[in-house]
Amino acid sequence: MDMIQWSNIFRLGIKELWSLWRDPAMLFLIVYTTTLAVYSAGKAQPETLYHVPIAIVEEDGSALSQRIASAFYPPQFTRPAMIGMHEVDPGLDAGRFTLVLHLPAHFQRDVLAGRSPSVQLNVDATRNGQAFAANGAVAQIVQQEAAEFVQGHRSAPTQPVELVVRARFNPALNPAWFGSLMELINIVTMLSIILTGAALIREREHGTVEHLLVMPVTPGEIMLAKVWAMALVVLVATWVSLTAVIRWAIGVPIEGSVPLFLLGATLHLFATTSMGIFMATVARSMPQFGLLMVLIMMPLQMLSGGVTPRESMPLWVQYGMALAPTTHFTELAQAILYRGAGWAVVWPSLVWLLGIGAVLFSLALARFRKTIARMA
């Protein structure tokens, strides 16, 4: 490429940036997804017990039942509401409680006599994010409090083997560390496809593509301009979100090199922006593009290894998703941001992203040339 071609690519890219600046809907999408959406994903805490509403039907009135009732406290549970048996079904139906624990009459007497009384736990399983985790927690609390009451002291039984658990990379098992970073990784993919695809469809709907055809520019220059302009916007937004939202607002420690992560994001954006242009040449309007986005984005997000480990997937899914850029970007991002991996660890992922990006760019360019040829 000579200097004139590079100048054309640069100026066309500036035109794309000005068009984006005059599009308030796209600007709002960029700001919202990289700030509030990332913050919400980190703070939602879907896998932990947090303010689970619980009620207790206490029919024994004994010291043991009161001890069990006092074992549920914030922030894992709300303060237990003491209700009667007639309030159980209405409370669950109205959604006021997720858990209702029933301690029957003569509960303490039966425990001390060794008769193993039955304790009923009613669970609103429609709130599955809390219900299944809370089910085991409540059972553990009741059994532990009853055992300590019978023994008269707190002691742990001697085990033949001592298991020492060491949680690497996330010692507190804080779901905010995982949720916020994975949300950002998904947003990078989504924004890059939407921005490039919408830019091309917008030009086609406004008739400005015909203006470009009479100018001394090639389809490759037009496409490269859209790729670098939209990739730059997403890359800057990613850096701001990683620094201001994830590291500062949520407090997630970033272990690895941010420049190395941004390098991987750049190669990933090269692939996904090309994918966005290819999809825009297939769709005839923005509604069609939106429907196509749903069909593409769901598999990319669900099967990339960010939600479920790839090792748990069928082999044909693992091999098929090896051709998707999101798979290697997710692997690279987790290695760098979570585990502090360096170049020696992530270079295969970078090579994969570069190769996949080159293939997608070639396919998108060939499709883009055919589309322009039909319009001419």
Q: Stretch 175-185: mean pLDDT, rounded?
A: 83
Mark whether 341 and 237 lie in a shared domain: yes
Mark whether 212 and 64 lie in a shared domain: no
Q: Are the C-beta atoms of residues 265 and 235 closer than 8 Å to each other?
A: yes
Query: Which residues sit opposite 181 in a β-bridge?
Result: none
Domain that holds residue 201: 3-44+171-375
CA distance 122 to 79: 17
Mark whether 205 and 349 lie in a shared domain: yes
Mark whether 214 and 329 lie in a shared domain: yes
Mark whether 180 and 69 lie in a shared domain: no
Mark whether 110 and 182 lie in a shared domain: no
Task: Give the percent of the chain with pLDDT over 90.
Answer: 43
CB-based burial label for 329 (10 Å; 0-12, 13-18, 19+): buried
Handedness of CA 177, 236, 233, 364 (dihedral sign): negative
Helices (H) then strands (E): counts for the chain: 15, 4
pLDDT digits (tens, 9 = 90+) for 5-43: 888 888 888 988 998 898 899 999 999 999 999 988 887
CA 109 to chain centre: 49
Query: Which residues sit opposite 103 in a β-bridge?
Result: 58
Mark whether 141 and 246 lie in a shared domain: no
Tell me, what's the pLDDT at 250? 87
How confident is residue 177, by pLDDT bands cut at 50, 70 and 90? confident
For residue 163, tell me if it sits in a domain. Answer: no
pLDDT digits (tens, 9 = 90+) for 298-329: 888 888 888 778 888 888 988 999 999 999 99
Mark whether 100 and 245 lie in a shared domain: no
Mark whether 99 and 244 lie in a shared domain: no
Average confidence score pLDDT of the chain:
86
| pTM of the predicted model as reported, rounded to 2 decimal places | 0.76
Q: Stretch 275-304: mean pLDDT, rounded?
A: 89
For residue 160, tell me if it sits in a domain. Answer: no
Task: Work out how many domains the chain is built from and give that number.
Answer: 2
Mark whether 201 and 74 lie in a shared domain: no
For residue 156, tell me if it sits in a domain. Answer: no
How many Cβ atoms are within 10 Å of 184's Cβ, its own excluded?
Answer: 24
Mark whether 226 and 267 lie in a shared domain: yes
Tell me, what's the pLDDT at 72? 93
